[in-house]
Amino acid sequence: MSHHKWQSWLSFTGIALGVTMVVAVDLANSSARRAFSLSLESVAGNVTHQIIGGPKGIDESIYSRLRRELAIRNSAPMVTGRVHIGDQVFRLIGSDPFSEAQLNRHTLNISRGELPALLLNPTAVVLSERGADRLNLSLGETFKIQIAGRESEVILAAIFSTDNEAATDGLIFADIAVAQRLLQRPGRLDRIDLVLGQGNPQRLLGWLPDDLKLVESETRNHSLQQISEAFHINLTAMSLLALLVATLLIYNTMTLSVIQRRHTLGIYRTLGVSRREIFALILSESLVLALVASTTGLIAGLLLGQVLVQLVTRTINDLYFSLHVTAFLIDPWSLLKGFTLGIVMTLLSTLLPAWEANRTEPTAVQQRSVLEEQWRRRLPLFIVFGLISLLLGMFLVRQNHDSLLEGYAALTMMVLGFCLIIPSLVVWLSRAVLLLTPQSLVIRMAVRSISAGISRTGLAVAALAVAVSVTVGVGVMIGSLRHTVFVWLEQTLNGDIYISPSNPNDIGSISNLKRDLSNVDGIRLVTSNRVLDIESEFGPMRLWAITPSGMNIRMPLKDSVPEATQLFYSGEGVLISEPLAYHRQLGSGDSLSLHTLKGPQQFPIVGVFYDYTSTQGLVAMQRDLYRHWWGDESVSGLTVYGDEGVTPDALLNATRDIIGNRQAQFQLISNGEIRQVAMRVFDRTFVITDVMRMLAVLVAFIGVLSALTALQLERAREFGILRATGMTPGQLRVMIMVQTILMGLIAGLLAIPLGLMMADVLIEVINRRAFGWSMQQILPPIVLVQAMSLALISAFLAGLYPAQKAATISPAAALREE
Amino acid sequence: MTARTTYLLLALTLLLSACEKYSGQTPTLDLLSILGGDETDGFERAVDIRQFQFPADHAAHPGFRNEWWYFTGNLASDDGRHFGYQVTFFRTSLSPQAHSEAPRSSWIAQDIWMAHAALTDIKDKRHQAVQRFSRTGPALAGAAVDPLNIWLDDWQVISKPGINKGNEFPWEVTINTDNFSLQLDLTPLKSPVLQGDRGLSQKSPTRGNASYYYSYSRLLTTGLVRTENIDHTVTGTSWFDREWSTSALDTGQTGWDWFSLQFDSGEDLMYYQLRDLQGNADDNSQGSWIDKTGGKTLIKQQDMQLTVLKEWHNDDGQAYPIHWQMDYGNQSWIIEAAVENQFMDLAVPYWEGAVEIYDPTSMNLLGRGYLEMTRVIPI
């Protein structure tokens, strides 16, 4: 009975790993979502509305007039910016404690430090207990912070304690006067938060100057949160895929466990144990297994979740918006979900074998051949159902919907359909192999037994093929995207050196530098651009204002009106990024409403460009057009173009010489470096996807190991007969190894078309719906090599133990049962 | 009226930590450290007799640490109801000099403003009080002349005619709160009275522990009082006090009782009694008697006898006398709170409310006034 123990262990591991995946991903997702809402809450609180300004922010006199003329006292001004302290990023919040008290929001409970100092000391900042600990700072200590590359010295004038540590983690507070000075934004506010009663919004709307926008904070927060929702759905889908693989395997092991005991069960039946009792026996056994395994999965999920949440938040930070909270929060709902799924999936996969064992006559239960016969008879039915599911999935996936979940449902149908066809394919393929193989009896026996035991081999191969196909599908998808981004960077980044000023408003020194650079030999052209977030009809959006130079719009347009480049240069239209076009169903010829200094304004869209920097949407605009509507002269960056034949190094040195002692004000990065950085960020973003892929493979590997091992162990009696009839231990070992490796090979071969199909859906459907990116499909050979190796190695490892076991079997002992 | 209720630093502490609703503790007020001599370096002091100039002195005096604009009054409506009101703007400096590191922000909180508004509905025995806080900039609160403008958000006092330089009477007081509103026009019936010694009001023997102090003891008041969504057209008389100082109290002085009384016969009386640790009258207590034409007589501590007849206790058990017998020279009055509970339960708590003046023998009503009482629990 030792192989029973083996098998229980393997099914246990399969279930536990499946639950681990679901729980870990769910926890990571819910933590990231919670982090998002905490990030918002800690800076937004209970506000109902926000006033948001244009590129220059809000003139602070608006705030005083709001209070004096409109008597809107439930209002608080805020100045905010990103701050680096060492290698850590914080968000500086400059607020007015008097207004905050009115809004009853930032409940900073100063636990240490002098309060008036916060108002009087021009460098005073406040940190939470945790923040101070993390930075290893004590009260009264001075330290350096960097804002937009500028360094300032501040003093930790107070430390506050809070009942919600997570919400204020990553925040550094200061009085609004201090923050305005540190951020070099005197006279300007970034935001006015409001708690408005009935009727007030209307009154305010009529009063507000055109360049300011009143937004409902709930709507805004919701639309912000929606941005990263696709990413969370993708992760969940991957964890569910892992669970699906796990379920297939659980089903396999449960079936085997029932079959193995058919003898015992047959005896029970002849002894008068009722069908119901046997059914109950099998179910309760698997329930115990499910409980133990799901609990283990839960604990492992908690541990893995802590690792995943780091990866998830990092990806969100890279791809979407900066979260200052990275807390790992244990959501009981996630735990319950994973646990229940583990139990339900195990019980469901036990039902069929239990029912089957139950249905058969006592004598028939004992005969394996009966079962195999039933299976073989069903194979054509499987093909029919499989094809229907596959075709239905393919049909659904072609439908022009925007729903990500629908895309996944279609993909699942396709995968399931393919799985149903796999047993028949296994039978055919092994027959084909039979035709090819030399007249070696051992090998022919090995091949034949694959189709003879199709009830189990079919499932094992299907499970292995699905697991491997995930590697292929995700691998091809990431490879394609990476390639696309790489080519795109090449086409888009055609400047040689990029310079960013630490203070975009310091127009004087920027234009001085621009002039100096233009006079250098070897520099053909210097252009300036402005990148900033603006308000649009679809919420916040990134705007890219560029100087027409004939150089920088060389990127290929996905879709455009006639003479698009001309229209763009003359400021008669804007270009929008592909994700924006996709998500908002916009195209060339449409128009987009942006909130300008003079209120909302429609801009005609003359083209759509490829963009992989942001899923949120990007609008490119001619600089003069931007100036006209936003009256902003600030410069976010300068682009230097070298003459033909000037080496990048020479150009870099020349530019460095010109910048000279202005290096504190200007950072420069070469084309090569920027590409490296971009690709590094890209790779970092997909670490989580890779981890998920590896985990799915691990689940599959354990499952396949379990299925194949059980399969061979179960044939102990058969092996006994073979040994008794003269097969040597060596021949038996070869036979078993050949059989499992062959199964691995078939699984690997089947995984490739399945994987490519999956990749196609992931690229053309899932990714487009989730991110709005289109990409060029490529097939990295390494992915195929990996897939085949994975299949073969799993099979090889799975064969080792049974081969060893069978070879050392005593024919007498094995036959004693007969 | 002495250094009134400027525990502003403490109020600020409360605000910043927003701990009112969390700790639930009643703060222990260390009045002496605020109104005492600790943090006075760099501020101007009320030491010498100065030349008062109007309307210039209605504006803020930023060199001094504490300053206030105090309006109180008794009003009667057409339908026979009586109201008491108080509107006060307080300014306190956190520092004699603002930091000036570039770039300069207009939010620099050199001065902190607090405003109180209260309405006593004598018929319904109801008293409501509201507070506000702000820093000065950008244009959130302040006190200026040319034109006259004393404000914190939309609470304001401005010159109603607003002609010439815009400082003329009547002044218009506008207060809007969730529960009541005031819209009052104030016209002085007497010239301003310089309190103490030509406006220098010594509060304790230490040099500099004094304030500059003047009063408009009687202003004709007309306008609207809105409470419980009903407008009442009112007329009556108000009292306007102006005072600024850097330090006032000495060790051993723990609070005060301040009276501003307006007699129907046309005379006015101001008297503040400073209290020592035992609750006895301090030698520096004083006041003034203002005759019908505005002529002033100084009232010294030995000329005045105050006897407590009845006390009211707040929730913390602190006693506030609400019936007094006042003996000044050969005159004697009973001073009685119009409503017992006129406790200002705010960040800086004190009792301030409308009082009625009675003849001790006939118990005839002789006039009305205001009474303020502060109590400091010594640490």
Q: Do A180 and B101 touch (CB under 8 A)?
A: no
Question: Checking phi first, is residue A590 left (phi over 0); if not, alpha (psi -120 to 50) or beta?
Answer: beta
Catalogue the E-assigned strands of B193-267.
193-194, 200-202, 210-227, 230-245, 253-263
Q: What residues of A are in contact with residue B12 (Cβ under 8 Å)?
A: 97, 115-116, 119
Which of A71, A98, A109 is the closest to B133 by Cβ? A98
Name which residue leads in pLDDT, B321 or B204: B321
pLDDT digits (tens, 9 = 90+) for B7-29: 344 444 444 433 333 333 333 33
* Residues linked to residue B274 through DSSP beta bridges, in sequence order: B256
Q: Do B176 and A180 touch (CB under 8 A)?
A: no
Q: Do B17 and A109 touch (CB under 8 A)?
A: yes
What ipTM does this complex have? Answer: 0.87
Distance CA A544, CA A558 (A): 18
**pLDDT for residue A298:** 92
**pLDDT for residue A700:** 67
Q: End-to-end distance of chain B based on CA atoms, in angstroms? A: 24
Q: What residues of A are in contact with residue B103 (Cβ under 8 Å)?
A: 180-181, 184, 186
Q: Which residue of B has its CA nearest to A182?
A: B103
Distance CA A664, CA A223 (A): 37
* Residues linked to residue B119 through DSSP beta bridges, in sequence order: B85, B128
**pLDDT for residue B38:** 52
Residues 6+ apart with CB under 8 A from B244: B46, B61, B64, B66, B67, B68, B211, B212
Q: Give how far B161 is from chain A: nearest CA, Å.
A: 20
**pLDDT for residue A756:** 93
- A309 within 8 A of A28, measured Cβ to Cβ: yes
Which of A64, A160, A184 is the closest to B138 by Cβ? A64
- B310 within 8 A of B323, measured Cβ to Cβ: yes
Q: Do B140 and A176 touch (CB under 8 A)?
A: no
- Provide mean pLDDT across the span B260-270: 97
Q: Give how far B139 is from chain A: nearest CA, Å.
A: 6
Q: Give how far B142 is from chain A: nearest CA, Å.
A: 12
Tokens coding A723: 């040994």
Q: Do A109 and B108 touch (CB under 8 A)?
A: no
Of A92, A177, A87, A152, nearest to A503 by C-alpha is: A152
**pLDDT for residue B37:** 42
Q: Do A177 and B107 touch (CB under 8 A)?
A: yes
Q: Give how far B324 is from chain A: nearest CA, Å.
A: 38
B34 pLDDT tier (thresholds 50, 70, 90): very low
**pLDDT for residue A177:** 92
B41 touches chain A (CB under 8 A): no
**pLDDT for residue B19:** 31
- CB crowding B232-261: b at 16 or more within 10 Å, else e: bebebbbbbbbbbbbbbbbeebbbbbbbbb
pLDDT along chain A (818 residues), means of 10: 61 82 84 74 73 87 93 90 84 86 66 72 88 89 87 89 70 91 91 83 87 83 69 74 70 69 76 82 86 92 86 73 67 87 85 72 58 80 92 87 82 89 89 79 82 79 84 86 84 82 83 90 88 85 80 70 87 90 89 91 92 80 92 88 86 88 80 83 78 73 70 74 84 86 90 92 84 84 88 85 79 64
A484 CB-side CA count, 13 A: 19
Residues 6+ apart with CB under 8 A from A205: A214
Tokens coding A412: 């699942």
**A to B CB pairs, distance under 8 Å:** 101
Q: What residues of A are in contact with residue B133 (Cβ under 8 Å)?
A: 98, 101
Tokens coding A236: 């969940």
Q: What residues of A are in contact with residue B151 (Cβ under 8 Å)?
A: 68
Q: Do B17 and A108 touch (CB under 8 A)?
A: yes
The H-or-E segment that residue A598 falls in is none
Name which residue leads in pLDDT, A440 or B213: B213
Amino acid, res. A478: I
Distance CA A751, CA A696 (A): 14
Q: What residues of B are in contact with residue A160 (Cβ under 8 Å)?
A: 17
B19 touches chain A (CB under 8 A): yes
**Which of A68, A72, A114 would you mutate first to test chain B, the one with the most B CBs within 10 A?**
A68
Question: What pTM was estimated for this model as a whole?
Answer: 0.72
**pLDDT for residue B379:** 37
**pLDDT for residue B18:** 35
Q: What residues of A are in contact with residue B18 (Cβ under 8 Å)?
A: 100-101, 104, 106-109
Q: Which residue of A has its CA nearest to B19?
A: A109
Of A273, A302, A230, A232, nearest to A23 by C-alpha is: A302
Burial of A208 (0-12, 13-18, 19+ CB in 10 A): middle
- Res. B167: pLDDT tops 90: yes
φ and ψ of B62, to 5 deg: -65, -15
For B:79-108, CB contacts with A below 8 A are: 94-95, 99, 101-108
Q: Give how far B360 is from chain A: nearest CA, Å.
A: 47
Q: Do A60 and B16 touch (CB under 8 A)?
A: no
Residues 6+ apart with CB under 8 A from B194: B52, B213, B214, B296
Q: What residues of A are in contact with residue B22 (Cβ under 8 Å)?
A: 107, 109
Q: Give how far A222 is from chain B: nearest CA, Å.
A: 29
Alpha helices in A208-331 (DSSP H): 217-227, 229-260, 262-270, 275-319
- Provide mean pLDDT across the span B185-210: 92
Q: Give how far A164 is from chain B: nearest CA, Å.
A: 14
Q: What residues of B are in contact with residue A62 (Cβ under 8 Å)?
A: none
Of A346, A255, A234, nearest to A297 by C-alpha is: A346
Torsion over CA: A705, A711, A717, A721 (sign): negative
**B62 upstream amide cis, omega within 30 of 0:** no
Which of A67, A160, A180 is the closest to B105 by Cβ? A180
**pLDDT for residue B236:** 97
Q: What residues of B are in contact with residue A104 (Cβ under 8 Å)?
A: 18, 21
pLDDT digits (tens, 9 = 90+) for B49-89: 999 999 999 999 998 989 999 999 999 999 899 999 999 99
Q: Do B153 and A71 touch (CB under 8 A)?
A: yes
Distance CA B182, CA B238 (A): 13
Residues of A with CB under 8 A from a CB of B: 60-61, 63-64, 67-71, 73, 96-98, 100-101, 104, 106-110, 115-116, 118-122, 160, 175-178, 180-181, 184, 186-187
Q: Give how far B243 is from chain A: nearest CA, Å.
A: 24
Q: What residues of A are in contact with residue B104 (Cβ under 8 Å)?
A: 181, 186
Distance CA A79, CA A61 (A): 14
B8-375: CATH topology is AttH-like fold (2.40.370)
3-state SS record for B298-330:
EEEHHHEEEEEEEEEECCCCCEEEEEEEEEECC
- A383 within 8 A of A377, measured Cβ to Cβ: no
Residues 6+ apart with CB under 8 A from A743: A426, A450, A457, A460, A461, A464, A708, A795
* Residues linked to residue B320 through DSSP beta bridges, in sequence order: B312
Q: Give how far B107 is from chain A: nearest CA, Å.
A: 5
Name which residue leads in pLDDT, B93 or A494: B93
**Which of B6, B107, B346 would you mutate first to test chain A, the one with the most A CBs within 10 A?**
B107
Distance CA A788, CA B235 (A): 98
Q: Do B17 and A184 touch (CB under 8 A)?
A: no
Which of A104, A109, A116 is the closest to B19 by Cβ? A109
- B236 within 8 A of B85, measured Cβ to Cβ: no
B30 pLDDT tier (thresholds 50, 70, 90): very low
B372 pLDDT tier (thresholds 50, 70, 90): very high
Q: Whats the size of chain A, residue-wise?
A: 818
**A781 upstream amide cis, omega within 30 of 0:** no
Indicate the SS3 state at residue A712.
helix
Q: Do B140 and A175 touch (CB under 8 A)?
A: no
